[in-house]
Structures are given as C-alpha cells and as structure tokens.
Structure 1
Amino acid sequence: MASKTALIVVDMQNDFCLPEGTLYVKDALDTLPLVNQLLNSNAFAYKVATKDWHPQDHVSFASNHPEPNNKPFESFIEMSNLVADKPHEKMQQRLWPNHCIQGTKGAELVSDLDVSKVDLIVEKGSDARVEMYSAFSDSFGNLTAGKGGVNHDLAQVLKEKGIVDVYCVGIAGDYCLSASALDAAKAGFTTYVIEEGQRCVDPGAWPDVKNKFLAGKVELISERSEQVQRLLAS
C-alpha cells in the first residue's frame, strides 16, 4: 500500500481551526487526533498539507468590495476566468472575512498538527484575482503553479511519486476539502475522504457534498471502516 498511497491534509490553519480565528469552522480541532494518527501511519508513501495563502487584496475578502455588497458569508460577486482566451467565463464568488493572509498567525498550521511527518506543504490562493479552494486548481479548473496561484503542481508531484490512491481529511468539508478531493479524482487518483476527518463551514451542506462525491467518483469512508483501521495500524 505505502508505495502507492498519499495523504492530503487540507487547511488545518489557525484562522479555520481556532475559536478566535477569523473564519472559524466549529469543532475543527476535533479532527486533529485522527489527522495526527494518519500522519504517523506508515501506510502513506507521501504526506501533503495544504494552506490557504492569500494576499491582503484577495478577491474573496468582503473588505475589498464596496458596500452594500460586501457582507461576509452573505454577499456574492462575479468573478472572471483569468485565462487569456476565456474572460467570458464567469462564476459567482461568495465573500468571506479576511483569512489566512500570507505571513500572519492566522495562516499558520495549527501548532498541534504533526508537521514533522509532512513531506510537502502546498500554498494556494495567492493570486488575488481568483478563488482557489482546491489544492489542484483554481475555481475555473486552471492550474497556475509558479504564476501566483499555487506553489506546486500537486497532481504532477503525486504522479511523479507513483501515487495511485489519495486519502483526504481537513477543513472545510464543504469547500477546500471537497474541492481538493474532487480534483484529485479528476486527475486520475483513486480518492477517499474520511468523514470523521472533516468539518464544514455549513454542516447542513454535507448531504449535498456527499452527492457531489458520488458524482465525482470520490469514495466517502468512515474512520471505523476496516480500510481506515488498516491504515492507522500500519
């Protein structure tokens, strides 16, 4: 198993995980014991942690837009595809409180996360003009490694490492975790999400997320499953 399997720990950062964080996800730290158990497992050949890594002027920050359309969580703006020949492609972007700003305490991984076991840290969302929930691509499906959006082409790295299977945990289940898992499957990896290893911004959105997993060929599994117990025992 170890020669083919990777773990992706998504956005276990202070702004998401701590009650004083600017975009706190309720009970996020409850996932930490399981996440650290997985990080300490020998079942994974490669272990990745991701981070939101936003500039102060990021398009998703409500503070960067004029009133009255700048209410965090509530307001939406129209966002354009950055690819030169696709500016006609638009999508609605939810606005958020300022979070995970580069170089701030809020952007740091939580102190109790066992980062000593992490092989690669992927910093994403650093292009101010576009949202990037997924560690693999921006919200339009573009990879911008080396151009400001993300510091590593994660799909390429995993393929170079011989990875076939990917297990995902982290924050938030209804945004960055689900986007990363769906993109991992799209990139050709057999992808699993461990349900107890995530928490959502909106817990009520989880049934819809599960439907997206089903459509996107992402398998949702339980910590209690024999499959995960084998990983934890390795």
Structure 2
Amino acid sequence: MDVQSDFLPGGALAVPDGDAVIGPINRLARHAPHVVLTQDWHPADHASFASRHRGRAPFETIRMSYGEQVLWPDHCVQGSPGADLAPGLEVARADLILRKGTHPGVDSYSAFLEADGTTRTGLAGYLRERGLTRLVLTGLATDFCILWTALDARKEGFAVTVVEDAVRGIDVAGSVEHAWAAMREAGVERIDSRSIEA
C-alpha cells in the first residue's frame, strides 16, 4: 500500500524506515498469484493538507463533516514526483493500481472506503469478481492506511494477513501499537515474510 516517494526518507511525509519495506514487498510479490498496488493521488487543494487550514500545522487534528481528520503536509499530489511509486518497487506484476484520496474534500486511508465511511473505491467488487478471499497487506503506513484497509477488509469478509517486516508506521503517540492491537482484535493475522517465502 502507498509505497510512494513522498512516504520514503526525504519525502514530504516520510515514514521512518519506510524504504525498508521495498525489498520484502518485491520478494513477496514474486510468490503472489495476484498483486494490487494502491497509490495516494491527492489534488493540490486536498482538504487533509494543513496548508489549506489557516493557522494549522501538520499532525494537528480538526473536525470535518465526516469526523476527525489528521492534517498532513502536502503530499502525493497528483502528477508530482512525490506521488510516484517508489524507485525500486517492482510494479510489472501488478494486476491493478488503485488510486485513492482523489476527492478534494475527503481523505482516504483505506483501499476500500474513503474516510467518510460511505464512498467506495470499488476494490471489494474487484476482488470478489476475481474470486479472491484472502489479502496479504504490505506497505505504508501501519497505523493509517494499513490499519484502515485491514479493518475494512475484515468487515467485507476477507481474511487478512499483515506482513510485519513489510510495513512501517508513522507512530504518532503510540499509534502503531494501537493499530496492531485493533487489527488483532478484528482477527487480522500478523506474520513475518519469511514464513511465506519458506
């Protein structure tokens, strides 16, 4: 999920050690029968950007029509180098690249639903049409896009596994630990990539 330049070290919204996921993801993709990539693809005036809210700073939380929203640095702007999939990420085997966060007024962490909880991305239908029932999640960031996607996938009835050495988190005030606990409670399996590759 969202292994893009802006989330790597030096990017606009760098996830600590974010580039460490690329190797494990590439190895796992070689074993996967189907590969789906997601890509944050924000318009330049996206409502989740702190720069759009006078007097607000990145990582502050505000109330929006759909609930609480963390404000972010401008990142993954459509067509910008920061929105590119990460250098070194092998994308040739991807069956689908799903772009999310395209609506100017609504953020999107989950690959299934926008943050308003009602606007669907179409991913659930795509997976069902392909006859897929189990998802193995990797990428960035554990405590936001991975978490929300895992929980929504479980609500949709999919079996979900998160590969712990192929994800990294932002970790705001213990948010990574909270994410793992929430996923465990929802029945999400947590494994190491070596157990798949073996």
Which residue is equivalent to 2:36? Answer: 48
Which residue is equivalent to 1:57? Answer: 45
1:176 matched to 2:161? The reply is no
Secondary structure, counterpart of 1:167 in structure 2:
strand
Q: Which amino acid aligns with 1:212?
A: A
Which contiguous aligned blocks of 4+ residues in structure 1 show a shift greater than 3 angstroms? Answer: none
What is the aligned residue count? 197
Listed as ranges, the gaps of 5+ residues in structure 1 are 1-9, 82-90, 146-152
User: How far 1:199 sits from its partner (Å)?
Assistant: 0.5
**Deviation per CA, 1:178-234, whole angstroms, max 9, x where unpaired?**
111111111111100010110101174222111101222211112243xx134xxxx
TM-score (norm 2): 0.95
Secondary structure, counterpart of 2:135 in structure 1:
strand
Aligned partner of 1:193 among 143, 162, 165: 162
User: How far 1:102 sits from its partner (Å)?
Assistant: 0.3
Secondary structure, counterpart of 1:116 in structure 2:
coil
Contact 2:28 2:197 in 1 (8 A): no
Which residue is equivalent to 2:11? Answer: 21
TM-score (norm 1): 0.81
1:97 matched to 2:73? The reply is yes
CA distance in 2, matches of 1:193, 1:143: 24
CA distance in 2, matches of 1:38, 1:79: 38
Contact 2:112 2:120 in 1 (8 A): no
The structure with the largest alpha-carbon Rg is 1
Q: Which amino acid aligns with 2:64?
A: M
Listed as ranges, the gaps of 5+ residues in structure 2 are none
For residues 1-234 of structure 1, what are the structure 2 equivalents within 5 Å? 10-17=1-8, 19-41=9-31, 44-67=32-55, 70-73=56-59, 75-81=60-66, 91-145=67-121, 153-202=122-171, 204-225=174-195, 228-230=196-198
Q: Percent identity?
A: 40
RMSD: 1.3
CA distance in 2, matches of 1:102, 1:142: 23
Contact 2:11 2:82 in 1 (8 A): yes
Secondary structure, counterpart of 2:7 in structure 1:
helix
